[in-house]
Amino acid sequence: MTDSLPEIGVVAIGINVEKFLAECLQSIHASDYPQDKLQIVFVDGGSTDNSVALAEQADGVRVIELNDPHPTPGKGRNAGWRSLQTPLIQFLDADTALHPQWLRTAVNLHVESKAGAVCGQRREKFPDKNLYHKIANREWEYEIGRCRYFGGEVLIQREILEKTGGFDPALIAGEDPELSYRVRQSGETIFRTADAMTTHDLDMTRFKQYFKRALRSGYAYAELGTKFIMNEEKLWARELLRVIFRSLAPIVFLIGGVYINQVLAGLVLALLVILRPFFQSSQFKRGGGFGDPFNWVYAGHLSLVPIFQFVGVARYFFGKLTSRPIRNYAYHQSIRGNV
């Protein structure tokens, strides 16, 4: 039975991930998939901690160091899959742990659904650690069945990566949905199952981390929303317009209200835009009803995060005008990613 199973190349990427890496690699070895059918690669983006040493000491793990002054997730993943010859590639972020049954489940789904890319459920390892983790755990709930996008963990056919060219190496964020889009445009399908795939450790404790995450998502909305604006399917154009509208409309209403001497009306309209998630019953039904206090917190998150994302949108267009895009910098150069 195991002789008929295909070989899988597992590619994990990360920078300064010694806190998570051992568990990530151990989870691959703990998989119920035959170990002689697995090839494991860790791609390091330029760590200053013990990530590389830990990976080199792990059994059966090949280490690739990018040695790139501007590492991106796409560069790391491309370096990983291109170093392998396996027919299937499983991508992982180093801050995730693979579910023991996932690889067998994914292979079966790949065969049954005839999908070129298969993904499952990601959940936070510590969902109750704080509100940041609770919010992230809610955000990992995606559509089941044939779907539009996969994230950082996906099982995908190597020939699809070769056909599409793999991940866009220039993107600092949004590289997974961008490749998902091109995979679908090439005629392939993506399938998501309700089965467990990975656990993830967001490891977020400060507002600065939350803000930066929102900023980068806004930056990605702007970059991809404009990149595909002329296509029939306009990837993330709707998300880009939503962020712009929900950030600027309240200001327009307030100024307009003052200008026409209808301050109260302008204020009410501005608040209706900002607090729109509180009037969407689907947001509350999704989490179990109006009686759950966290649903109100999550609605507050949905009300505020577009404002932070708009900072990322503005930063993208500023970078386009001044030729100064956001770039990541390798930690071993003692330079942090700029914003």
Q: Model confidence over 219-275: pLDDT tens digits?
A: 999 999 999 999 999 999 999 999 999 999 999 999 999 999 999 999 999 999 999
**Model pLDDT, residue 339:** 42
Please state the pTM of the whole predicted model.
Answer: 0.92
**Model pLDDT, residue 113:** 86
Which architecture does CATH list for 2-205?
Alpha-Beta Complex (3.90)
| Stretch(es) of the chain classified as CATH 3.90.550.10 | 2-205
**Model pLDDT, residue 335:** 38
Rg for the chain, CA atoms, rounded = 21
Q: Are 298 and 287 in contact (CB under 8 A)?
A: yes
Residues of the chain short of pLDDT 50, as ranges, are 334-339
**Model pLDDT, residue 292:** 81
**Model pLDDT, residue 66:** 94
**Model pLDDT, residue 280:** 77
Q: Are 10 and 88 in contact (CB under 8 A)?
A: no
**Model pLDDT, residue 4:** 86
